[in-house]
Amino acid sequence: MSRRSRRTPSPEPLDTWVPRPRRRETPLGLLGHGVKFLGYSTLAGVLLAGIALPAAGALGLGMKGTVEEFDTIPDDLKTPPLTQASWIYDAKGQQIAKVYERDRRVITGEEMGPLIRQAQVDIEDARFYEHGAVDLKGVLRAITKNAESGAAMQGASTLTQQYVKNVNVEKAGDDHAAVREAQRKTLGRKVQELKYAIKLEEELTKEQILTNYLNITYYGQQAYGIQAAAQRYFSKNAKDLTVAEAATLAGLVQNPSQFDPKAHPEASRKRRDVVIDKMVENKHLTAEQAKEAKSGPVVLHYQAPQNGCITADAGMGFFCDYVRHVIKQDPVFGKTAAERKKLWDMGGLSIHTTLDPVKQAAALKAVTTKVKVTDDVSAAITMVEPGTGKILAMAQTRPYGIDPGKNQTVVNYNVDAAMGGGNGFQPGSNFKPIVAAAGLEAGLTSTQSYPSPNKMDWPSMSTCDGTWKNLEKGKKGGTIPNESAGEVGPYELKEAMALSVNTYFVQMEQEIGLCAVKQMANKLGVLTKASGKPLEELPALGLGTQEVSPLVMANVYATFANRGTYCTPVAISAITTMDGKEVPVSPAKCERVFSESTADVINTVLLGVTEKGGTARDLGLNDDRQIAGKTGTSDEKKSAWFSGYTGNLAASVWLGGPAGGVKMRNIRIGGKWFDEVFGATGPGPIWQMAMNDAVRGMPEKEFETVYIPNPAPKHDPSASPGSGSGSGSGSPGEASTTWPGRPTAPARPTRNPGPTQRPAQPTQPEPQPRQDEQQDQQQDQQQPPQGEQAQPEEQHQDG
């Protein structure tokens, strides 16, 4: 042993119970006069019954001190499963986050390696393999030392007894009062722990007890168990620790704060050297090995605690939080909320999710490039795979966190309130395809025509339980206008969808009834408002006035892409425990909610929205693959949407004020000035950027489309409401247009028609912009205040 080690005391653990001297003479105080009392009390009981302290009454236990009464103390130590960390992974197996109540990973004795096991025994309980639950020599040594000093300098708890105490602390969980009770150093508690220790020594081998001890013990810096400690301080597995590293960790157990190598490196070094000397003393290291291990300071490769979704990279924190809500709410993970919470809190899970890192990166790039985190508004996007319900991406402009000064939030704008979101946002015309699907299922045709006046009173409509009547006719609140003055019918479905004509869809609602619209919304996953409140059967339902979330809308449009088969959204693909056992998860439940023929009409109509003449005509993808979708803008431009899809990927983008109070007029977003934000100009480019990156390398999948003839051309774009049946008149050779009032726009390259699409009709020439449109375009071309040149806005926009 070195000179330094001889000078350095080797104290026993300070966190174990030792008798405390009192001012008055007590049986413990009498021990200072000799060991005669000890022989008649403590040791007598040990020799007679194989236990310690039979004369408990003399020490204040309130017992008669008999072996029989000691035997009545319960010895069934119910060891709970140890709380562990869980890991959440993306679809490629890359870690999203580690979440835990206690950062621990339970490993086997073989996975620990022999070095740390020996170091821990040598410093905590060198005679561990020689004694039973009680170390009589240790008791004698501790009591003698303490009696000589007049203070509690040494304890005599064995490693088995320390393990029992740690089990009681683990069972206390987050109950601070229960933790304090488990740590109280009373004789009664020591006797109880001793009885448990005796039973454990009968049931488990020494190696098993040591393995359990190393897995349960706290090593400081939020690290429970030797594996978490090895990762925390040295970034390696327990079995790979060096002598110096193992000695450092073994020395921590006595006082994790005092010997913290990060906070107190010199105290840690001294404690490490004490452990190394103990290993030499017990002939587990040579003097040469000890010299080398003690030759330098404690060298750390520290990994700071990384707990929770807040540590997730690439904007995945919100999806991580969504996964947490799924586990806490899905009955497959437990019949009650308490059972599901316990599963999450206990941890020890490998949670594999559906999140695609490539698509997630594309989504995050788009919402943070087109909208700045400091803007008054924010954006959110969810991507869903049609046919599987898999959530492939979920991102928003504002980062996940709790610091409002950095514009952070923990509110997930992509999901409903019950899943960690807010109260949602009005989708505007994004909701109109749901009305169209309900109408087609009710027997309407793809060429359904309505007068569609520029403005009209809300008509009476049937509901599931009766009739809705307009009590405000002729007043502002009792009428519904179209977005632009030039939007005057009659219109057919394809044209009305492309131009997003409000009065057309109100008249469709009137014909089929509000109940049909609500039921179709329910089938498509819009079960309630985002707040959880029920959908209201009001005429404005079909125009998107009731708040929803991007995840819900993305899944609606994924159903269109999947030709009418709805799949519940899923975020978790598999869960396994640390020992490889599978935990059941809920698969996507897919069911047909409307016919393929209805889906094919919807896809054809929404394909038209993104082509020449539609509100989203400028949102084509770089590879020119087929896309379909719908714009949406709420009243006062407080939210704007674009939901669109290819044959194999659907995405929905929302843009607006998180609290819903920002009117997006005369506003700068992402460094660009907007006189007025519409679905095609605000969220549309976000969708376009995200999808361009997301679909790269994906196979092209075209839609099953149907032939829908263009309506007969109109002579007078400003024809009065109700002037005809809706089909108009005119001969094929007349200069006219299908889309009245639409300013001329450059045509995108022509796509290949879908498998069932008939050859396209000859393109009708578009009219020149009206005088008011020319004035608006001139204003758009002027330099906006303190901003870059704004692009001309479309005149026919979504409502």
- How many Cβ atoms are within 10 Å of 40's Cβ, its own excluded? 12
For residues 153-162, average pLDDT: 74
Cβ-contact 564, 386 below 8 angstroms: no
With cut-offs at 50, 70 and 90, classify the pLDDT of residue 28. Answer: very low
What pLDDT score does 751 carry?
38
Strands 86-89 and 349-353: parallel
Label residue 256 exposed, middle or buried (CB < 10 Å: 0-12, 13-18, 19+): middle
Of 479, 537, 451, 536, nearest to 470 (Cα)? 479
With cut-offs at 50, 70 and 90, classify the pLDDT of residue 739. Answer: very low
The string of DSSP letters for 594-622 reads: S-HHHHHHHHHHHHHHTSTTSTTTT---T
Cβ-contact 493, 448 below 8 angstroms: yes
What pLDDT score does 184 carry?
76
Which tokens hold the place of 398? Answer: 């504002």
Which of 359-368, 498-507, 691-700, 722-731 comes out lowest in average pLDDT?
722-731
What pLDDT score does 194 carry?
86
Strands 491-492 and 565-567: unpaired
With cut-offs at 50, 70 and 90, classify the pLDDT of residue 473. Answer: confident
With cut-offs at 50, 70 and 90, classify the pLDDT of residue 140. Answer: low
For residues 372-378, average pLDDT: 96
Q: Which residues pair with 167 in a beta bridge?
A: none
Query: In the block, which residue shows the tokens 């605000």?
Result: 682
What is the chain's mean pLDDT, rounded? 82
pLDDT digits (tens, 9 = 90+) for 558-581: 999 999 999 999 999 999 998 889
Which tokens hold the place of 581? Answer: 């056992």
Which tokens hold the place of 653? Answer: 């983008």
What pLDDT score does 659 carry?
85
What pLDDT score does 472 carry?
86
pLDDT digits (tens, 9 = 90+) for 448-462: 999 999 999 999 999
Asked if pLDDT for residue 150 goes beyond 60, the answer is no
With cut-offs at 50, 70 and 90, classify the pLDDT of residue 483. Answer: confident
Q: How far apart are CA 101 and CA 257, in angstroms?
A: 20
pLDDT digits (tens, 9 = 90+) for 489-539: 999 999 999 999 999 999 999 999 999 999 999 999 999 999 999 999 999
What pLDDT score does 667 carry?
97
Bigger pLDDT: 72 vs 650: 650
Asked if pLDDT for residue 32 goes beyond 80, the answer is no
Q: How far apart are CA 644 and CA 630, in angstroms?
A: 6
Cβ-contact 643, 671 below 8 angstroms: no
pLDDT digits (tens, 9 = 90+) for 35-57: 333 333 343 343 333 333 433 33
- How many Cβ atoms are within 10 Å of 179's Cβ, its own excluded? 15
454's enclosing H/E stretch is: none
pLDDT digits (tens, 9 = 90+) for 66-115: 555 556 666 667 777 899 999 999 999 999 999 999 999 999 999 999 99
Which tokens hold the place of 404? Answer: 């409002």
With cut-offs at 50, 70 and 90, classify the pLDDT of residue 275. Answer: very high
Which of 197-201, 277-281, 481-485, 757-761 comes out lowest in average pLDDT?
757-761
Cβ-contact 261, 300 below 8 angstroms: yes
Label residue 265 exposed, middle or buried (CB < 10 Å: 0-12, 13-18, 19+): middle
pLDDT digits (tens, 9 = 90+) for 161-204: 999 999 988 888 777 787 787 777 777 777 888 888 998 999 99
Which of 87-101, 231-245, 567-581, 700-714 comes out lowest in average pLDDT?
700-714
* Percent of the chain topping pLDDT 90: 67
Q: How far apart are CA 514 and CA 274, in angstroms?
A: 80
With cut-offs at 50, 70 and 90, classify the pLDDT of residue 612. Answer: confident
- What SS3 state is found at 378? strand
For residues 408-413, average pLDDT: 96
Strands 628-633 and 449-450: unpaired
Q: How far apart are CA 165 and CA 188, in angstroms?
A: 13
Which tokens hold the place of 348? Answer: 């020890």
Q: How far apart are CA 714 and CA 725, in angstroms?
A: 12
What pLDDT score does 613 carry?
83
What pLDDT score does 195 carry?
86
What pLDDT score does 714 carry?
66
13-17, 50-54, 369-373 — which one is most confidently predicted on average? 369-373
What pLDDT score does 374 carry?
96
Q: How far apart are CA 39 and CA 21, in angstroms?
A: 19
Tell me, what DSSP letter sits at residue 430? Answer: G
Which tokens hold the place of 55? Answer: 């004369």
Q: How far apart are CA 681 and CA 525, in angstroms?
A: 27
99's enclosing H/E stretch is: strand 95-99
Asked if pLDDT for residue 372 goes beyond 90, the answer is yes
Strands 95-99 and 86-89: antiparallel
With cut-offs at 50, 70 and 90, classify the pLDDT of residue 768. Answer: very low
Which tokens hold the place of 24? Answer: 């008055």
What pLDDT score does 12 carry?
35
Which tokens hold the place of 253? Answer: 């157990």
pTM: 0.80
Cβ-contact 796, 483 below 8 angstroms: yes
- How many Cβ atoms are within 10 Å of 189's Cβ, its own excluded? 16
With cut-offs at 50, 70 and 90, classify the pLDDT of residue 743. Answer: very low
128-142, 218-232, 483-497, 732-746 — which one is most confidently predicted on average? 218-232
What pLDDT score does 8 carry?
36
Asked if pLDDT for residue 283 goes beyond 90, the answer is yes
